[in-house]
Amino acid sequence: MKVTVVGAGVVGTMHAWQAVERGHEVVQIEREAEARGASLRNFGQIWVSGRAGGEELETALRAREIWEEIGGRVPALGFRANGSLTPVRGELERAVAEAAVARPDAAARGHKLLTPAEARALNPALRGEFDAALYCERDAAVEPRTAQRALRAELLKHPNYTFLPGREVREVVGESAVRDDHGDVHAADVVVLCTGAWLGGLVRELAGPDLPVRRVRLQMMQTDPLGEPLPTSVADADSFRYYPAYASAALDDLDARQPQSATAAAHRMQLLMVQRADGGLTIGDTHEYEHPFAFDTVEEPYEHLAAVVESLLGRPLPRIRRRWAGVYAQCTDPSRVVHRQQVRAGVWLVTGPGGRGMTCAPAIAERTANELGW
């Protein structure tokens, strides 16, 4: 088959990977010189721990298998099975962690409740005070700024893969063909639009104004090298409020009796933290849903995150090296992992994985390939 993939973010690149692996001829088109959206502006986490039970968890677990397999072939991906720790303080937070460990699917996630000593044996950098820590053995990470480039470098070794950067697809021409802004027509057996948070223009024209996907803006930051390993990813108890796996009576009790701080609540915040290959920490994040999004970043969320991190590390945070904002596309139906829609004959739109994009992209692409009979 001939497959055209529009978009070079992680979802588009994984669709190209699936097609090439199955022996097809692939043209991947990207409007920028390379992807610059949410696929780079994230933690690089393959985050299994908080996923909703059922299809979402199954997708995340399958995606993690594929990430690990590809990571073995492409070392530059930076895959590492680092797991995660969520330190908790007080009985209310501990009760939410205990409810997570009691879930029927806890073993599939690798969930365990650890004592502080057990947690520090896994991650000695956590010198702050906490009462216990929820461990997820199945969480992992890759390098977000370089993962797409590493995957593309591997794809370019195949004679049946072509990458066309700096071209914006403007229209669908007939069946299974698109025209770009250079005037070139790309005919194929199937076209997959993986345009991320770009939901206007051609996407609106094809899918209509009622596309069940919204845009979400986040703020994050990166530090100078920590100077020591951070062997696991780290979250805080506010992540319990954000991820569906932690929904429980214990979480309702936590919300009622120990609400988030004013800053965290105002910016819909949680702490997620992972160490990059250069030793720096990626720290975030916020969630903004109301349009129009601000064009600038605000300082209060960064101050809040820095304080939380320092309380867990028991030491000052290294100098903040970078701050950024990003936007991703999220299905408005939380029960759906991704929005997959045939928008014209031979043309499919795959978008809206939300904050699950980096985690689930390999399995999302695999399912697309299977459903379309590649």
- 82 DSSP assignment: -
Task: Report yes or no: 2 and 105 within 8 Å, Cβ to Cβ.
Answer: no
Residue-level pLDDT at 38: 87
Whole-angstrom distance, CA of residue 22 vs CA of residue 188:
16
**E strand or H helix at 252, and its extent?**
helix 249-257
Task: Report yes or no: 194 and 306 within 8 Å, Cβ to Cβ.
Answer: no
Task: Report yes or no: 213 and 26 within 8 Å, Cβ to Cβ.
Answer: no
User: Phi/psi at 45 (nearest 5 deg)?
Assistant: -85, 135
Residue-level pLDDT at 61: 98
* CATH 3.50.50.60 domain span(s) along the chain: 1-82+139-211+334-374
Whole-angstrom distance, CA of residue 315 vs CA of residue 319:
12
Burial of 122 (0-12, 13-18, 19+ CB in 10 A): middle
Residue-level pLDDT at 227: 97
Q: Which residues contact 99 (CB under 8 A, 6 or more apart)?
A: 246, 248, 249, 250, 251
Residue 38: name the closest of 280, 336, 285, 348 by CA.
Answer: 285
Residues of the chain falling short of pLDDT 70: none
Residue-level pLDDT at 35: 87
Residue-level pLDDT at 84: 98
66-100 pLDDT, tens digit each: 999 999 999 999 999 999 999 999 999 999 999 99
Task: Report yes or no: 310 and 178 within 8 Å, Cβ to Cβ.
Answer: no
- 244 DSSP assignment: G
Residue-level pLDDT at 36: 86
* CATH 3.30.9.10 domain span(s) along the chain: 84-137+213-331
DSSP character string of 191-222: EEE--TT--STHHHHHH-TT-SEEEEEEEEEE
281-333 pLDDT, tens digit each: 999 999 999 989 999 999 999 999 999 999 999 999 999 999 999 999 999 99
* Domain 84-137+213-331 listed as CATH 1.20.20.10: no
Question: Which CATH superfamily hosts domain 1-82+139-211+334-374?
Answer: FAD/NAD(P)-binding domain (3.50.50.60)
243-265 pLDDT, tens digit each: 999 999 999 999 999 999 999 99
Collapsing DSSP to helix, strand or coil, 266 comes out as helix
**Residue indicated by tokens 């298998």:** 65
Residue-level pLDDT at 100: 98
Whole-angstrom distance, CA of residue 310 vs CA of residue 122:
18
Collapsing DSSP to helix, strand or coil, 152 comes out as helix
Residue-level pLDDT at 82: 98
Per DSSP (E only), the strands in 127-239 are: 132-136, 140-141, 161-165, 169-172, 177-180, 185-187, 190-193, 213-225, 233-235
Residue-level pLDDT at 86: 98
Task: Report yes or no: 91 and 107 within 8 Å, Cβ to Cβ.
Answer: no
Which amino acid would we find at residue 337? V
Which amino acid would we find at residue 87? P
Return the number of other C-beta atoms located less than 10 Å from residue 297's C-beta. Answer: 15
Q: How many residues does the chain have?
A: 374
Residue-level pLDDT at 156: 98
